[in-house]
Amino acid sequence: MTDARPYTYVLDRLKSAGLRPTRQRLALAKLLLETDDRHVTAEQLHCEASDSGIKVSLATVYNTLHQFTKADLLREVVVESGRAYFDTNTDEHYHIFHQDTGELCDIPDHALSTLALPEPPAGTEIDRIDVIVRVKSKT
């Protein structure tokens, strides 16, 4: 688990993705990429940015999240219809979603390798596989 990555790491990742390190972009990238394994919604990230004194519009947060996703800095995880989560871990892995709290976390030591992959329908190929383990508080 790599924490507190240096400023240059974040900068480099932006640059090698071909994205200009503008003030807003860099600020969001730092929030997202300076530590491992973040799962954020646009709204959350927008709050965090505001809290740390960065002025960014929500629209820019959305645009930035999608740019980052296209550049493979992030991965979108769909767990609830009507809310998009973005995951800073772009490796193959799966998720635990806590239905009561809305908290999403990685299962790093995953069992995907033991999942017998189905034959994709003719003319198609597998893009990715999502596994979401939905948990709820014990009653």
Could you tell me the two tokens for 97?
A: 């979603």
* Cα angle: 23, vertex 57, 4; to 5 degrees: 50
Contacts of 128 (CB under 8 A, 6+ apart): 92
Could you tell me the two tokens for 75?
A: 């991965």
Q: Nearest-CA neighbor of 13 among 52, 54, 71?
A: 71
Nearer to DNA (CB atom), residue 5 or residue 66: 66
Local structure of residue 112 (DSSP, 8 states) = G
Three-class SS of 9-32: HHHHHHHHCCCCCCHHHHHHHHHH
CB under 5 to 8 A by kind: which of DNA, a copy of itself, none does 16 bind?
none
Taking CB under 7 A as the rule, does residue 42 contact DNA?
yes
Nearer to DNA (CB atom), residue 7 or residue 112: 7
Nearer to a copy of itself (CB atom), residue 48 or residue 106: 106
CB of 105 to a copy of itself, least distance (A): 8
CB under 5 to 8 A by kind: which of a copy of itself, DNA, none does 99 bind?
a copy of itself
CB of 109 to DNA, least distance (A): 28
CB under 5 to 8 A by kind: which of DNA, a copy of itself, none does 115 bind?
a copy of itself
Measured distance between the N- and C-terminal CA atoms of the chain, rounded to whole angstroms:
33
Taking CB under 7 A as the rule, does residue 53 contact DNA?
no
Query: Where does this chain bind DNA (CB under 7 A)?
Result: 19-25, 41-43, 55-60, 62-64, 66, 81-84
